[in-house]
Structure 1
Amino acid sequence: MITAEQVAQAHKDLGRLLVTWRKASGKTQEKLGRSLGYSRSTIANLETGRSRSSRKFWEAADVDLHAGGELMKAFDHVDDLKRDQAREVVRRAVSDAAAMRARSAATAAGSAELLRGGARRPVDNPVQGGDTNEMLRRTVLIALAGTVGSVATGFGPVSEDVGRGLAGVDRWQEAAWEYGYAYVTTPRRYLVADLAADLAAVQEELHRQTSPGTAKPLAAVAAQLAGLTAMACTDLGFAREARHLWRLARYRAEESTDAAVQQWVAGHEITLGSYQQRPLPVLLDLANRALALADETAPSAGKAELLGGQAQALALLGRTRDAQKTLDSLRLTFEHLPSSVSGEQDSIYGWPEQRLRHAESFVYSMAGKTDAAYRAQELALRLYPQARRIGRCQIELHRARCLIRDGSLSDGLRHASATLDYLGVDQRQQFVLAVARQVLHAVPQSQRQRGEAIELRERVQAAQTSTLLIGSTRGTVRA
């Protein structure tokens, strides 16, 4: 754990390094101050670690003292140390809130068991679900401090520091790329803290930029990080915060003028939004605007995600013919994806074949075209790795809906209940529950009081109440 004492010591070490290079150059504190536009006392305080200064100062000092990047390397170490310290604080806060949420979940699970006639062990000092929900929301907002707050206008605090130039862009692009892999494997309560810390940092760096050659690629990175943070918040159940972050992601994507990034952001927002009960006409409007950029970019993961999300939204609106036409466009786009995209299984930036089959399964299941849906489900389950339990679970729930539509009501309901049991309580996140509710919606009104339907409904209600935020690694259709 990084302590305040460690950060203070790093500042002192940076100050001592400044002394070393100043003396090596033969300059006094006063002479160095005049060269850089600072007072002698400011230089003295920086050398003892009592004062802090911006990147602008340390870059100028490095050049003036011919330090060859040594001062900047030490400054970056202090900067990274402070960011990691803030990240750990947020992570601990989120973890503590998640533990409280788990205790609330145990209470809710016991209540559900009591409703089914089972025995319930007493729970000492149960934590109220509403209180822990609000506590967790506050801790997530701590992680997003300085980021979500700037979304309303699209502008955040402006720093006087000078950016790191193209080398800094490369560093941030590498970080965004690595997050694409981390998104597949890292528990959301940890990932959101890391993402938000880096999103806030790249936002600050972006505001310092004056060169379009640097600002535009940085804006693309900010769009990707904002999108990933929005996905993590959505999975944690924070729809309001996620919507703010999607707005920021769109704003930065447009600022980047990168059509592929704009489509990637819009595609994931639309796909997640269709599970989040956002207004479908709003999602389709986003899709139409992003697809207008299609002629400006080659087939990409973003365009494929965009078409998949549009097809799902159309299917939910009952526009089956339009949804099928969109699937045709999606298949054509998939056929022309680079192998580096269609063959990438382990990153959110890839778009392997199981995503295509997942979209087909969703659309055909909603449209009642069960033969086509079963074929898509078989292909999807064959392609999904066994470890991707969330994606496989969603496909099995599509199958349960098809069984109900085909008249096998008991088989469909039992299949859905068994699927939820296979997944485990801690992985029954927002998007799994949304598909389970679609299964319940397919049950004829006259049959909704039969035993299997009541049992599934209780499972869904209990999971919704006691959604555990511990150990979740995937909660979207991209599982």
Structure 2
Amino acid sequence: MADTDEITTARRALGRQLAQLRRDANLTQQGLARLVQYGRSSVANTETGRQHPEREFWARCDTALHTCGVLAQEYDRIAKRAQRIQPQSTAVPSKTPDRPQPTAGTGSTEGGENDSAFWETEDCINARRLALKSGTDDDARLSYLEGEVHRAIADNERLPSAVLLARMRPLRAYVDQLMAGRQHPPQRARLYTLAAHLSGLLGALALDLGAFRVAHAYAAEAFDLADTAQQHDVRAWARATQSLIAFYTGEHHDALAYAQDGLRHSGSGPHTIRLTINGKARALAHLGDRYGVDEAVNHAFTMLAEQPHDTTVSTSLALGPYCYPRTAANAATAYLVLNCGKNVTAHLSGAIDAFDAAELRGPQALSRLDLATAYLHHADPDPEQAAELALNALALTADHRYESVNQRTHQFLTSAKPFAAMPQMRHIAEQLAVRAHRSRRAPPALPFAT
């Protein structure tokens, strides 16, 4: 092609158009490069006019950006213009003969093949076909993202919250990029579902790290995404996560309201046990409703008995039903608030062994702290055994930050005030103070919402 000022200006304008379309689609240069299978530098150089890729590049960009062929059409216009101004002696012969011109009867009144006012362009039609076929790529991306989210939920109580957070935040940004696209309706529902799970998980991690307002914001976003996806199970899961966060931020009426609304969405779905025992029973205990707690606990165990037997310990943000140890541990927490020590020890007798076998540090620590507090509430208290369990809980989570563990340790120390002179109790208080000081000195793990 002739490298004239006119052609150079047109190429640069096309590059700027690509950059604008990319930004409108909320894509980075790297993100677009992945979609069109070119290098990031190729995208960057093309946008600034330093590189002039062939037509295939522009066709792929049209497909990725859903532009109905406008970039490839402009490339063709520039190419034809360059051919026309090229000296005749150096012109390259066309490899295909020109199409025959329309006859007198094929004008706009008859809708002839070359009448652009009547027909869509072939590029526009082909772009739609490619967009339809691109569903295969979208399925692959969605399957990858769903796998990552499920793995992260499974790792939630195994990895430090800050480590998992660092892994999930870039994934959430990538999902936002995809949400700016135009997926088919079933894929769109899957995309909103995994975005809801991601935001809910980030909310739980923010809670662990003490960023309460951010935790509430993420959890509210999770429900809004689930509501947009119109998936009842996902709505129920998001409400359960909101209830969890409200519980640990001391908003027990809200925790109960979220749990009850979640139960409305869940029906007999997989999240009913979690909403009943983790949300409803524990909130009712803090509101002093012993009858309501008994009813919720009995209902949770009745539903659990109807589930297929599974020895696997479910995760705290389980996408399926809660397991027996998790249900028992939550029942123990509710009864501990009501000062029903016998109920606490009965429910925790097998739960602790299951958590130890699964090596889930959060539940290991929390169940030990609940059992330790129950020992202090017995008619014949055992402060030495209680202190040993509490110290063990702190040792298990020495390298992890769990807001729930910190709160439960404070509750233990409140119950242990009659034994505050014991060296073990002083040591527990000192360790908790060190943790609080370390948390204050550390930079915020998440930006606080305004």
What is the SS of the residue equivalent to 1:426?
coil
Q: Is the 8 A contact 1:183 1:348 kept in 2?
A: no
Q: Is the aligned partner of 1:289 residue 2:258? A: no
Decide which of 365, 369, 373 is 1:401's aligned counterpart. 373
Pairwise CA distance, 1:177: 2.7
Q: Deviations over 1:170-215 (max 9, x none)?
A: 4443343333334344432232133222222223423434754333
Q: Deviations over 1:411-465 (max 9, x none)?
A: 2552344324532532353111111111122235x65566554443222222222
Q: 1:34 to 1:366 in 2, by over 3 A?
A: closer
What is the SS of the residue equivalent to 1:39?
helix
What is the SS of the residue equivalent to 1:425?
coil
Q: 1:40 to 1:425 in 2, by over 3 A?
A: same
Tell me the number of residue pairs that the alignment of Structure 1 and Structure 2 aligns: 349
Kindly provide the amino acid, as one letter, of the partner of residue 360 in structure 2. R
- Partners of 1:38 and 1:466 in 2: CA distance: 60
Aligned pairs for 1:32-111 within 5 A: 36=71, 39-40=74-75
- Partners of 2:295 and 2:238 in 1: CA distance: 22
What is the SS of the residue equivalent to 1:427?
coil
Decide which of 298, 306, 310 is 1:336's aligned counterpart. 306
Structure 2 equivalent of residue 11 of structure 1: 40
Q: Deviations over 1:225-259 (max 9, x none)?
A: 11111112222221121111011001111112211
Decide which of 198, 204, 218 is 1:225's aligned counterpart. 198
Q: Is the 8 A contact 1:21 1:65 kept in 2?
A: no
Unaligned runs of 5+ in 1: 25-31, 45-59, 73-161, 471-479
Kindly provide the amino acid, as one letter, of the partner of residue 19 in structure 1. E
Q: Is the 8 A contact 1:357 1:377 kept in 2?
A: yes
Q: Deviations over 1:100-149 (max 9, x none)?
A: xxxxxxxxxxxxxxxxxxxxxxxxxxxxxxxxxxxxxxxxxxxxxxxxxx
- Partners of 2:335 and 2:421 in 1: CA distance: 27
- Partners of 1:184 and 1:424 in 2: CA distance: 10
Pairwise CA distance, 1:357: 1.7
Q: Is the 8 A contact 1:311 1:363 kept in 2?
A: yes
Larger radius of gyration: 2
Pairwise CA distance, 1:321: 1.9
Q: 1:181 to 1:400 in 2, by over 3 A?
A: closer
| C-alpha RMSD of matched pairs (Å) | 4.2
Identity of matched residues, %: 15
Q: Is the aligned partner of 1:181 residue 2:154? A: yes
Pairwise CA distance, 1:43: 8.5
Q: 1:271 to 1:337 in 2, by over 3 A?
A: farther
Q: Is the 8 A contact 1:163 1:209 kept in 2?
A: no
Q: Is the aligned partner of 1:436 residue 2:405? A: no
When the two structures are superposed, what TM-score results if normalisation uses the length of structure 2?
A: 0.65
Kindly provide the amino acid, as one letter, of the partner of residue 250 in structure 1. F
Pairwise CA distance, 1:12: 4.2
Structure 2 equivalent of residue 262 of structure 1: 235
Pairwise CA distance, 1:307: 1.3
Kindly provide the amino acid, as one letter, of the partner of residue 192 in structure 1. L
Decide which of 318, 323, 327 is 2:297's aligned counterpart. 327
Aligned pairs for 1:43-442 within 5 A: 168-209=141-182, 212-274=185-247, 276-295=248-267, 298-300=268-270, 302-309=271-278, 310-338=280-308, 343=312, 345=314, 348-350=318-320, 351-386=322-357, 387-406=359-378, 407-408=380-381, 410-411=383-384, 413-423=386-396, 425-427=398-400, 429-442=402-415
Kindly provide the amino acid, as one letter, of the partner of residue 431 in structure 1. S
Pairwise CA distance, 1:314: 1.5
Pairwise CA distance, 1:277: 2.6
Q: Is the 8 A contact 1:417 1:459 kept in 2?
A: no
What is the SS of the residue equivalent to 2:39?
helix
Kindly provide the amino acid, as one letter, of the partner of residue 261 in structure 2. R
Pairwise CA distance, 1:163: 11
Pairwise CA distance, 1:348: 4.0
What is the SS of the residue equivalent to 2:156?
helix
When the two structures are superposed, what TM-score results if normalisation uses the length of structure 1?
A: 0.61
Q: Deviations over 1:320-351 (max 9, x none)?
A: 221121111211222233557x7465784353
Pairwise CA distance, 1:467: 4.2
- Partners of 1:225 and 1:168 in 2: CA distance: 15
Q: 1:21 to 1:204 in 2, by over 3 A?
A: closer
Q: Is the 8 A contact 1:202 1:222 kept in 2?
A: yes
- Partners of 1:331 and 1:379 in 2: CA distance: 15
- Partners of 1:316 and 1:43 in 2: CA distance: 72
